[in-house]
Amino acid sequence: MSSFLVRVIIIVLALLGISAFLLYRRRQHPHAEAGEDVGRGPDSATLAAPDAVELGADIPPRPPVEKWDDQSKRRKLPPGEYRAAADEPETDPEPLS
């Protein structure tokens, strides 16, 4: 048997082996996903069938804006280890034509 034929057989066997391994892994982990599993399934709730509603066409005056921007509901991002930003070109929009 020529050395060329031996090499071809070795390559074919190697490819078959790799394919079989990948198939085995897929069967072992059918839903393999990137990232960490949160370790539990979702909770569930049932929403009753909806009721129909016919809305009005007149919009009432709104309350003062000050009441809506409650700063206690905002957050300041926690500190973290500094990481420099890459240099990137600036962009300006095309003016209104």
Partner 1 sequence: MVRIIQSRDLNPVPAGGWETNVATAFDDVFVTGNWFGAYSRDGGSSWVKVNPKGLQPETYVKFCDQRVLYIPQINRFAWVILANTEGGPITLAISEPARLRDSSGRSWVRYHIWPRTVRQEEQSFDFPDISFGDSYLYLTSNIGPRGMIARFPLGELAQAATVNMQYYILPQTWICPVQSTGAKGFFGAHTDVSKMRVWSWAEPASAHIMSAEFPIATIRTEDWVVDLPSEQWFVPDHSPDNEIIGAARLRNELWFAWMEARRVAGHPEARVFPFPHINTAVVSATSLALLRQERIWSSKAAYGWPVLTANDRDVALLCVYGGGQIQGGAELCVGLLTSPRQLQLVTSGNLGASGWHYMGVRPAYLSTTAFAAVGYNRRLLPVPENISRPRYVVFERD
Give the footprint of partner 1 on this chain (CB under 8 A): 31, 33-63, 68-71, 73-86, 88, 90-96
Sequence-ordered list of residues with C-beta below 8 angstroms from that of 32, at least 6 positions apart, any chain? 25, 26
Minimal distance, residue 20 CB to partner 1, in Å: 23
**Between 5 and 86, CB nearer to partner 1:** 86
- Report d(CA 29, CA 77) in Å as an integer: 37
- Name the minimum Å distance from CB 1 to partner 1: 43
d(CA 38, CA 52): 37
* Nearest distance, CB of residue 3 and partner 1, angstroms: 41
